[in-house]
């Protein structure tokens, strides 16, 4: 086997280890989010009934930050989206651990603010896997 192919295969094998959130655990953990977030698909079907303090989290994977129509985001999150922040597992997990610190770091602005004050210390990748699993992706 040539070396390039071997490297490519090793890379593929390494991927799942990184993206190994547990959707079932994430479903439970989402109980911590639903006071502020609902999950509603584009047809209007409610997957998880929740609060509206935060934006709908349906289809969060691959979505540009701060772009749910009609939701009044804080300026920093909108700015991050304008600068190219797209939610993937890595950014999502870092954000939910500490939204304000994440935005400060992403924008490189000590004055960055977050309207989400909740912090999920552990299990962000599980919640991400759960959101992907209910978003038909
Ligand atoms: C106390 C209310 C509250 C809780 C609890 C909460 N959030 Fe949020 N969340 C918000 C608000 C408000 C925003 C908008 C932040 C802003 O505009 O700065 C937000 C934004 C987000 C965003 C960015 C969405 C986008 O459209 O760019 C993600 C991702 C997110 N929350 C995930 C979570 C997850 C996962 C949990 C549970 C672990 C959670 N949140 C718990 C209030 C909350």
- The residues near 131 (Cβ < 8 Å, ≥ 6 apart) are 26, 30, 39, 57, 58, 60, 61
- State the first-to-last Cα distance of the chain, in angstroms, to the nearest integer: 34
Q: Whose CA is nearest to atom 5 of ligand 1?
A: 33
CA-nearest residue for atom 3, ligand 1, is 36
The whole-number mean pLDDT for each consecutive block of 10 residues of the chain, a chain of 137 residues, reads 62 55 97 98 96 98 97 98 98 98 98 97 97 88
- Cα(7) to centroid of ligand 1, in Å? 38
**Any residues with Cβ below 6 Å from ligand 1, and which?**
32-33, 35-37, 53-55, 57, 60, 65-66, 68, 73-74, 77, 87, 92, 95-96, 114-116, 118, 120, 127
pLDDT of residue 9: 60
Residue 128 Cα to ligand 1 midpoint, Å, equals 13
Give the pLDDT of residue 19: 58
CA-CA distance, 65 to 4, in Å (whole number)? 35
Alpha-carbon gap, residue 78 to 9, rounded angstroms: 38
**Ligand 1 centroid, distance to 37 Cα (angstroms):** 7
Ligand 1 centroid–CA 9 distance in Å is 36
Q: Which pLDDT score, from 0 to 100, does residue 95 have? A: 98
| Other Cβ atoms closer than 10 A to 124 | 20
Say if residue 30 is exposed, middle or buried (CB neighbours under 10 Å; 0-12, 13-18, 19+): buried
């Amino acid at each position: 086997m040539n070396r390039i192919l071997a490297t490519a295969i090793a890379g593929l094998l390494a991927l799942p280890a990184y993206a190994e959130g547990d959707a079932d655990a994430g479903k439970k953990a989402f109980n911590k989010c639903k006071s502020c977030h609902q999950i509603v698909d584009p047809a209007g079907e409610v997957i998880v009934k929740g609060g509206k303090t935060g934006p709908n989290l349906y289809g969060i994977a691959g979505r540009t930050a701060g772009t749910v129509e009609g939701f009044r985001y804080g300026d920093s999150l909108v700015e991050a989206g304008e600068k190219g922040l797209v939610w993937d597992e890595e950014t999502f997990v870092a954000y939910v651990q500490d939204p304000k610190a994440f935005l400060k770091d992403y924008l490189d602005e000590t004055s960055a603010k977050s309207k989400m004050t909740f912090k999920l210390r552990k299990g962000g990748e599980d919640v991400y896997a759960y959101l992907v699993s209910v978003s038909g992706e």
